[in-house]
Amino acid sequence: MLRLGVNIDHVATVRNARGGAYPDPVRAALLAQKAGADGITAHLREDRRHIMDEDIDKLMKSLTIPLNFEMAATAEMQQIALRHKPHAVCIVPEKREERTTEGGLEVAREENQLAHFIAPLREAGCRVSIFIAADQKQIEAAHRIGAEVIELHTGAYCDFHAEGKFDERDQELKRLTEMASFADGLGLEVHAGHGLTYGCVQPIAALPEVKELNIGHFLMGESMFLGMENAIGEMRRLMDEAREG
Ligand code: PXP
């Protein structure tokens, strides 16, 4: 079965716009859980622009489905992850000036540091996932450092789809397809995410090697119109349809 991880960061973005406690991302996570999410993803950024430390505390206490804790490879985040020991930790690149996670992690360039960085997380029992571009060099490096999971960055594929650049989109889909198969062949579990919408999710959901999709921004936006249960339910339906077809 293809799992759906729901990213609730942007409920916190709306909350923080007013500096209060509403809307509560933990309430969103519990609703997503009720609506059929298989996991919740939350990214604690260095600048705390959306998810805050207390949100992670509360998510760890209240969720019955796994938490995928997204973080940059910093000593501070490693300590937080080791304190909570979430089911999964996804290592992402992070730049203060970016609006969202723009690219994949440069694993190949920082192989030794990353191998040392993830070792204690693995020893603590977290499944370590590395967010990377669909690039053979990065996948091989992720495998060498001992990651169990890679998450393929679907951002470029989704952007080309949204801009109507269908040749470029199809090229990117071809790359994602080949690299999902390559990574699976190395024994890595393959996840995918970033920018996925109802319009572009199905070709990614149809890739047999992909075991989990992580989706946030579109689903939170759509929840404003349809309600969270309906928004997630429709994504689930499209994913299942793609998988069966
Ligand atoms: N996966 C990772 C590793 C991410 O960093 C993000 C964005 O925070 C997502 C998935 C979800 O992307 P989106 O919010 O565009 O659906």
Is residue 147 in contact with ligand 1, taking CB distance under 6 Å? Answer: no
Tokens, residue 121 = 């997380």
Kindly report the protein residue whose alpha carbon is nearest to atom 1 of ligand 1.
193
CB 41, CB 214: distance < 8 Å? yes
Distance 90 CA to ligand 1 centre (A): 11
Is residue 131 in contact with ligand 1, taking CB distance under 6 Å? Answer: yes
Give the global pTM.
0.97
Is residue 214 in contact with ligand 1, taking CB distance under 6 Å? Answer: yes
- What CA–CA distance (Å, rounded) separates 168 from 70? 29
Mean model confidence pLDDT for the chain: 96
Closest CA to 130 of 112, 119, 143: 143
Average pLDDT of 151-163? 98
pLDDT in tens, 170-197: 999 999 999 999 999 999 999 999 999 9
Cα 147 to Cα 29, 111, 114, 129, 176, distances in angstroms = 26, 11, 10, 6, 19
pLDDT in tens, 98-124: 777 778 899 999 999 999 999 999 999
Active site residues: 43, 70, 194
